[in-house]
């Protein structure tokens, strides 16, 4: 007789966990530098490529718009080629886009910006889902690490832009960031290839004699390429079985439950009766989870609160990152000093990028953190309006505000999700809607400056937007989980993670 045997998910080794962690580190390092390194050299770009004021405003807006427009492409691509391959493609887009921007031509500058923005958008969407899936007991700390690395790389890119411009021109200042993104491609490439081989091996039928002694599944090929083995499949198994994570202590419980479920799924089965029973229970559990996590998030008020808070927090950050150097130059600061101010603003956010998610994960209600963000933003933007000469003081407050708001919004994607599947779907929705909202900011501020000839109206608009940011943040920080509404259509992200989980958790072989 013939038996259809599916290879169970291999155990997650220490080497695999370290390889996956290294991939996450390299991914996050490349999600800001390509954006923040442009603003300090905008003047040289404008002079060299003869850009108009409107074109400069569009250039500063394009990356943020791309974060919203291309966020929905991540689950579609990942469902077709796998999550690891989708991340590798995203990093390739970032690398090619950065290199293309170094070509001294307007089409290359704008086209490269779109490519890099598309890659960053996909990486943004996949990152929180990978953290929740692969490291469910470390959501707070790893989200904090990711935010810290994003802030750090962004600050370094902004701080080195002017010195690199002076050493080799704006082309060198932009092109240098293709190096770390290329290194990240080399790390995620083997992960993608190994995942593809695992997918093929998992669906191959194997002939074996009937009886208790069934032929074992074919072993995975060994070798250097197998180093990152099981990063995706084991993480996906945890994603399909982990309990909700609402705080770091709850995350530990979820990790324990996920580990037990994975162990039960790959345990050998003795006797056909036990195999049939376990298979029935597994099918029932999988169907129950799919039914509970199906539906749309578009009808969830909590999902929109999270998306709105993320959008306004991102708007504040990208407006300041894009225009703060020009604002400070117009108020009498030298070009080099103005560029350093942006770098310092982001450097202040590095420790906050780690501390804020950890603190948020330990709190039941995060409204105190939201109010803290509001106070610092009021002082920073208000100070620029009334006393711009004290620019360094207001930059410090802005660093505290922006350095806390965005990591908090990113952490809420996980804290308001009952499962990794919902976290991935909420991430895609919040980033699509949020970044589309944030993309309006740099363009609007630039146009207002051109129309009024100053920065007072633009800064006043940012000051007013603090109010809805606080309201949405408080509503998003209330305890609870996003609950999808019933619908017959499955989202692309749900199908992606269900496919990944299906490769990790297999029902025992049956004898025909």
- Max Cα separation, the chain? 85
pLDDT at position 262, please?
A: 30
Least confident of 252-256, 346-350, 493-497: 252-256
Higher pLDDT pick, 96 / 510? 96
Instruction: Look at residue 55 in the predicted model and tell me its pLDDT.
Output: 87
Residue 3 carries which DSSP code?
E
Average pLDDT, integer, range 118-139: 81
| Residue 91, pLDDT above cutoff 70 | yes
Q: Could you give the CA distance from residue 443 to residue 429 in angstroms, rounded to a whole number? A: 22
Q: Name the band, by pLDDT with cuts 50, 70 and 90, for residue 6.
A: very low
Cα separation, 167 vs 276, whole angstroms: 70
Q: Which of 40, 26, 33, 23 is nearest to 117 (CA)?
A: 33
Task: Supply the pTM of this predicted model.
Answer: 0.62
Tell me what pLDDT residue 507 has.
46
Is residue 193 predicted with pLDDT exceeding 60? Answer: yes
User: Mean pLDDT throughout 83-109?
Assistant: 92
Q: Which helix (H) or strand (E) holds 73?
A: helix 73-81
| Range name among 56-65, 71-80, 342-351, 470-479 with the lowest pLDDT average | 71-80
Helix (H) or strand (E) holding 1: none
pLDDT above 70 (res 185): yes
Q: How far apart are the first and last CA of the chain?
A: 7
* pLDDT bucket at 383, cuts 50 / 70 / 90: very high
Give the residues across from 2 on adjacent strands: 207
DSSP string, 172-233: HHHHTTHHHHHHHHHHHHHHHHHHHHHHHHHT--EE--SSS-PPPPPPPPPSGGGTTTTHHH
Confidence (pLDDT) at 71: 83
Binned at pLDDT 50, 70 and 90, residue 393 comes out as very high
Whether residue 331 is predicted with pLDDT greater than 60 in this model: the reply is yes
Task: Note the pLDDT tens digit of each residue in 418-469.
Answer: 876 787 778 778 888 888 888 888 888 888 988 998 999 999 999 999 999 9
Q: Where are the beta strands (DSSP E) in 391-485?
A: none
Q: Look at residue 192 and tell me whether its pLDDT is greater than 90.
A: no
* DSSP reduced 3-state for 331: coil
- Cβ atoms of 60 and 322 closer than 8 Å: yes
Retrieve residue 247's tokens.
């705080």
- pLDDT at position 283, please? 37
Higher per-residue confidence, 79 vs 369: 369
pLDDT one-digit tens code per residue, 17-54: 777 788 889 999 999 888 888 888 888 888 889 888 78
Which burial class, exposed, middle or buried, applies to 10 when counting CB atoms under 10 A from its CB (0-12, 13-18, 19+)?
middle
Instruction: State the Cα–Cα distance between residues 448 and 450, nearest whole angstrom.
Output: 5
Q: What is the pLDDT of residue 397?
A: 96
What's the confidence (pLDDT) of residue 258? 33
Q: What mean pLDDT value characterizes the chain?
A: 75
CB environment 280-293: b (16+ within 10 A), e (fewer): eebeeebeebbeeb
Residue 357: strand, helix, or coil = helix
What's the pLDDT score for residue 502? 56
Tokens of residue 19, six digits: 């390889």
CB 343 within 8 A of CB 158: yes
CA proximity to 341, closest of 27, 3, 39, 26: 39
Exposed e or buried b per residue across 30-50, where buried means at least 16 C-beta atoms within 10 angstroms of its C-beta: bbbbbbbbbbbbbbbbeeebe
Question: Which region among 132-136, 182-186, 222-226, 303-307 has the lowest average model confidence (pLDDT)?
Answer: 222-226
Position 74 scores a pLDDT of 83
> Considering only CA atoms, which of 146, 111, 141, 145 is closest in space to residue 126?
146
CB-CB contact of 80 with 500 (8 Å): no
Q: Please provide the DSSP assignment of 240-269 as one string.
A: HHPPP-SSHHHHHHHHHHHHHHHHHHHS--
User: Which of left, alpha, beta for 230 (phi over 0: left; psi -120 to 50: alpha)?
Assistant: left
Q: Which domains does the chain have, with CATH numbers?
A: 14-191+295-493 (1.20.1250.20)
What percentage of the chain exceeds 90 in pLDDT? 27
User: How confident is the model at residue 217, as a pLDDT?
Assistant: 39
* Higher pLDDT pick, 444 / 487: 444
* pLDDT cut 70: percent of the chain above it: 73
pLDDT of residue 486: 56
Average pLDDT over every residue of 111-133: 86
What's the mean pLDDT in 52-73?
Answer: 84
Tell me the Ramachandran region of residue 219: left when phi exceeds 0, alpha when psi lies from -120 to 50, beta otherwise. Answer: beta
Averaged over 356-364, what is the pLDDT? 88
Provide the pLDDT confidence category of residue 116 given band limits of 50, 70 and 90: very high
User: What pLDDT is recorded for position 440?
Assistant: 85
pLDDT at 83: 78
pLDDT at 233: 38
Q: Which CA distances in Å does 41 have to 37, 167, 345?
A: 8, 13, 17
């Amino acid at each position: 007789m013939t038996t259809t045997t599916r290879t169970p998910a291999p155990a997650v080794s220490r080497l695999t966990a370290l390889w996956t962690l290294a991939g996450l580190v390299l991914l996050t390092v490349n999600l800001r530098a390509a954006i923040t390194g442009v603003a300090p050299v905008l003047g040289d770009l404008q002079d060299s490529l003869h850009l108009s004021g409107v074109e400069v405003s569009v250039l500063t807006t394009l990356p943020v718009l791309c974060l919203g427009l291309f966020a929905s492409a991540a689950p579609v691509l990942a469902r077709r080629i796998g999550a690891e391959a989708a991340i590798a493609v995203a990093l390739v887009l970032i690398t090619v886009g950065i290199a293309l921007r170094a070509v001294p031509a307007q089409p290359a500058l704008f086209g490269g910006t779109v490519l890099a923005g598309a890659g960053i958008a996909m990486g943004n969407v996949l990152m929180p889902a990978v953290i929740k899936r692969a490291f469910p007991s470390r959501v707070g700390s790893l989200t904090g690490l990711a935010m810290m690395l994003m802030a750090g790389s962004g600050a370094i890119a902004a701080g080195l832009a002017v010195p690199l411009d002076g050493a080799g021109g704006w082309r060198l200042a932009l092109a240098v960031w293709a190096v770390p993104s290329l290194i990240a491609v080399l790390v995620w490439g083997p992960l993608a290839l190994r995942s593809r081989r695992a997918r093929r091996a998992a669906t191959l039928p194997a002939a074996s004699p009937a009886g208790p002694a069934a032929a074992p599944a074919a072993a995975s090929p060994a070798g250097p390429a197998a180093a990152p083995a099981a990063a995706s499949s084991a993480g996906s198994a945890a994603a399909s079985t982990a309990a909700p994570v609402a705080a770091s202590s709850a995350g530990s419980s979820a990790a324990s439950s996920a580990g037990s479920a994975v162990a039960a799924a790959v345990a050998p089965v003795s006797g056909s009766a036990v195999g049939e029973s376990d298979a029935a229970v597994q099918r029932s559990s999988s169907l129950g989870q799919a039914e509970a996590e199906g539906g749309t998030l578009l009808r969830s008020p909590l999902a929109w609160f999270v998306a709105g808070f993320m959008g306004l927090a991102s708007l504040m950050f990208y407006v300041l990152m894009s225009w703060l150097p020009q604002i400070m130059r117009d108020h009498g600061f030298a070009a080099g000093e103005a560029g350093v101010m942006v770098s310092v603003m982001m450097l202040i956010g590095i420790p906050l990028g780690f501390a804020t998610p950890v603190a948020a994960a330990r709190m039941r209600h995060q409204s105190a953190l939201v109010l803290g963000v509001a106070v610092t933003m009021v002082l920073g933007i208000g100070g620029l309006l009334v006393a711009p000469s004290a620019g360094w003081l207001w930059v410090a407050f802005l660093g505290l505000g922006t350095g806390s708001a965005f990591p908090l919004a990113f952490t809420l994607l996980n804290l308001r999700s009952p499962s990794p599947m919902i976290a991935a779907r909420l991430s895609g929705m919040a980033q699509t809607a949020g970044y589309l909202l944030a993309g309006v900011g740099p363009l609007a501020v630039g146009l207002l400056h051109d129309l009024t000839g100053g920065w007072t109206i633009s800064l006043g608009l940012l000051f007013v937007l603090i109010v809805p940011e606080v309201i949405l943040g408080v509503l998003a920080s209330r305890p609870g989980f996003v609950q999808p509404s019933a619908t017959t259509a499955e989202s692309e992200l749900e199908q992606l993670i269900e496919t990944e989980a299906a490769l990790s958790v297999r029902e025992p072989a049956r004898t025909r």
